[in-house]
């Protein structure tokens, strides 16, 4: 069934584990994420990013409605989250389609503007009963430029949460978006200090680049929402590449989409087991 992100994150946090939040680009992603979560017997969050909306020619509705329908039919709890929103008009749609939460990403703005914009976004979200995530300390890689050295300062993080009223905070602790090798090294000492200093759950972005043992340690050390995107696309695309290399005559996309979806579901299942 479809469950609020707030509820999923609250129970993960009280159990001291992470909840996987996977990015949906196509219907097959939503189906694979739910299949993987069912196989692992774990709750999961499906998230649709502003970039994915852009890919669907600026329309949120078709993918969001389909993902919500897949979530409702799931045998495990599934949350629906709107990810990396910079566009105010898109944020205002977070109350539609069954989303329980959104990430408002003003991390590229100067600090004071990030605070003001995030405060306004959180105030609005709370009038709609939505859970709002924000980011402090820009986690690189979205534009292809990796900046694994960026760090979020614990005192600044505490002040940011107090000033904005956000429900969760994405922090820079050594990961970077869109890595295709699992070579990121997380700053576990900083994670411990952030978990002490910040009263709300912490979110790890760019988790694809983080090796399994580091991911598990981060989840147990206080990173509660674990965002994973690229890992699914690696599994999906590699499966299609393998299929097409072997088979030069099939034209029905269902043939290769089915194997790609299965490989993506296996990746989700594995990662959810790592998170505990």
| Catalytic positions | 83
Task: Provide the token pair at 115.
Answer: 């605070």
Task: Please select the residue that binds ligand G3H; options are 13, 29, 81, 84, rule is CB under 6 A.
Answer: 84
Smallest CA-to-CA distance from 82 within 63, 100, 62, 107 is with 100
* Residues 18, 195: Cα–Cα separation, whole Å: 13
Asked if 207 interacts with ligand G3H (CB under 6 A), we say yes
H or E segment to which residue 5 belongs? helix 5-15
Q: Is 270 exposed, middle or buried (0-12, 13-18, 19+ CB in 10 A)?
A: middle
Q: Which is nearer to Zn ion, 99 or 256 (CB)?
A: 99
Apex CA 118: angle with CA 117 and CA 124, to 5°?
A: 95
**Pattern of binders to Zn ion over 196-235, x per CB under 5 A?**
---------x---------------------x--------
Torsion of CA 112, 116, 117, 119, to 10 degrees: 130
Q: Which residue reads 């189906």 in tokens?
A: 31
Q: Which is nearer to ligand G3H, 114 or 227 (CB)?
A: 227
Task: Please select the residue that binds ligand G3H; options are 85, 130, 228, 239, rule is CB under 6 A.
Answer: 228
Task: Please select the residue that binds ligand G3H; options are 114, 152, 164, 208, rule is CB under 6 A.
Answer: 208
Asked if 224 interacts with ligand G3H (CB under 6 A), we say no
**Could you tell me how many residues of this chain bind ligand G3H (CB under 6 A)?**
16
* Residues 15, 147: Cα–Cα separation, whole Å: 32
Q: How far is CA 258 from CA 24, 43, 64, 213, 236, in A?
A: 16, 23, 21, 30, 10
Task: Provide the token pair at 194.
Answer: 């952030």
Task: Please select the residue that binds ligand G3H; options are 5, 23, 67, 101, rule is CB under 6 A.
Answer: 23
Q: Which residue reads 């590699």 in tokens?
A: 238
Report in angstroms how near the CB of residue 88 gets to ligand G3H at its nearest.
Answer: 19
Q: Which residue is nearest to Zn ion (CB)?
A: 205
Report in angstroms how near the CB of residue 239 gets to ligand G3H at its nearest.
Answer: 17
Q: Which is nearer to ligand G3H, 36 or 229 (CB)?
A: 229
Report in angstroms how near the CB of residue 268 gets to ligand G3H at its nearest.
Answer: 12
Task: Please select the residue that binds ligand G3H; options are 11, 86, 230, 259, rule is CB under 6 A.
Answer: 230
Q: How far is CA 178 from CA 58, 130, 139, 192, 275, in A?
A: 22, 27, 11, 25, 20
Asked if 83 interacts with ligand G3H (CB under 6 A), we say yes
Q: Which is nearer to Zn ion, 4 or 227 (CB)?
A: 227
In 3-state terms, what secondary structure has residue 88?
Answer: helix
Specify the stretch interacting with ligand G3H by CB under 6 A; choose among 87-95, 149-157, 221-229, 238-246: 221-229
Interface residues toward Zn ion, by CB under 5 A = 205, 227
Interface residues toward ligand G3H, by CB under 6 A = 23, 83-84, 177-179, 205-209, 227-231
């Amino acid at each position: 069934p479809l469950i609020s992100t707030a509820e999923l994150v609250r129970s993960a946090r009280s159990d001291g584990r992470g909840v996987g939040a996977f990015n949906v680009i196509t219907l097959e992603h939503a189906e694979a994420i739910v299949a993987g979560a069912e196989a692992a017997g774990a709750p999961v969050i499906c998230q649709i990013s502003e970039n994915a909306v852009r890919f669907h020619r600026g329309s949120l509705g078709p993918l969001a409605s389909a993902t919500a329908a897949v979530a409702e039919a799931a045998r495990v709890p599934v949350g629906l989250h709107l990810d990396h929103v910079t566009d105010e008009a898109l944020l205002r749609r977070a109350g539609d389609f069954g989303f329980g939460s959104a990430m408002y990403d003003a991390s590229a703005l100067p600090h004071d503007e990030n605070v003001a914009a995030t405060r306004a976004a959180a105030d609005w979200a709370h009038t709609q009963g939505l859970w709002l995530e924000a980011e402090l300390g820009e986690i690189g890689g979205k534009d292809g430029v990796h900046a694994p050295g960026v760090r979020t300062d614990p005192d600044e993080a505490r002040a940011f949460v107090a000033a904005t009223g956000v429900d969760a905070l994405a922090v820079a602790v050594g990961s970077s978006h869109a890595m295709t090798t699992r070579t990121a090294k997380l700053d576990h000492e900083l994670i411990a200090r952030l978990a002490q200093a910040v009263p709300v759950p912490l979110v790890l972005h760019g988790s694809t680049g983080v090796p399994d043992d580091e991911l598990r340690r981060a989840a147990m050390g206080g990173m509660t929402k674990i965002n994973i995107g690229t890992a699914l696309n690696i599994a999906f695309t590699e499966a299609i590449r393998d299929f097409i290399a072997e088979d030069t005559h099939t034209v029905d996309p269902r043939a290769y989409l089915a194997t790609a979806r299965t490989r993506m579901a296996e990746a989700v299942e594995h990662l959810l087991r790592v998170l505990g």
